[in-house]
Amino acid sequence: MSESYHLIVEGNPAIVYASRRGTPDKVLAILTPFLETFWQERDASGEASDTPECLVAQMVVRFGFEFCEDDFSNLKVGVDYHPDVDYLYTIAADRRVRIWVPEAAYRQNPALGIAGCREVVADASPSR
């Protein structure tokens, strides 16, 4: 089964969509160490003004490398929520990662975003 998902970064309107390997065990296995390194690099550089933009760009590269292999058609960046996603992963400015599962309201109106979802893991953030 190919679980689809969104990656959403607070402060950036871009919504990353991937159509496979979206279960928390698979996504967090890549996302957690990636974020640990990302935050360390941002802290070391002292740069924070464009963090949401850098984070989305680097996630697209990382997840494209990890999950797309030769087929990049399953990875997209846009501003609309897809009705078929199985999970939504949000990364907040405070570095917290949350995992959401769409409910009926989301399926009927994906524009609701996480307001139409149920949180399934309170905090999947890497330790600082």
Q: What is the pLDDT of residues 37-55, one digit of tens each?
A: 999 999 998 877 899 999 9
| Residue 106: C-alpha distances to residues 10, 86, 121 (Å) | 19, 11, 18
Helix spans in 2-110 (H): 24-45, 51-63, 104-108
| Domain membership flag for residue 127 | no
Average pLDDT over every residue of 103-120:
97
| Domain membership flag for residue 60 | yes
| Domain membership flag for residue 72 | yes
Name the residue with tokens 């933009």: 53
In this structure, of 25-29, 38-42, 43-47, 93-97, the range with the lowest mean pLDDT score is 43-47
| Domain membership flag for residue 90 | yes
Q: Tally the domains of the chain.
A: 1
Q: Compute the distance between CA of residue 92 and CA of residue 10 in angstroms, rounded to an integer.
A: 5
Compare 121 and 46 and report the one with higher pLDDT: 46
pLDDT score of 128: 41
Give the distance between the most distant pair of CA atoms in the chain: 44
Instruction: Give the range of the structural domain holding residue 82, as residue numbers without chain letter.
Output: 5-121
Compare 102 and 72 and report the one with higher pLDDT: 102
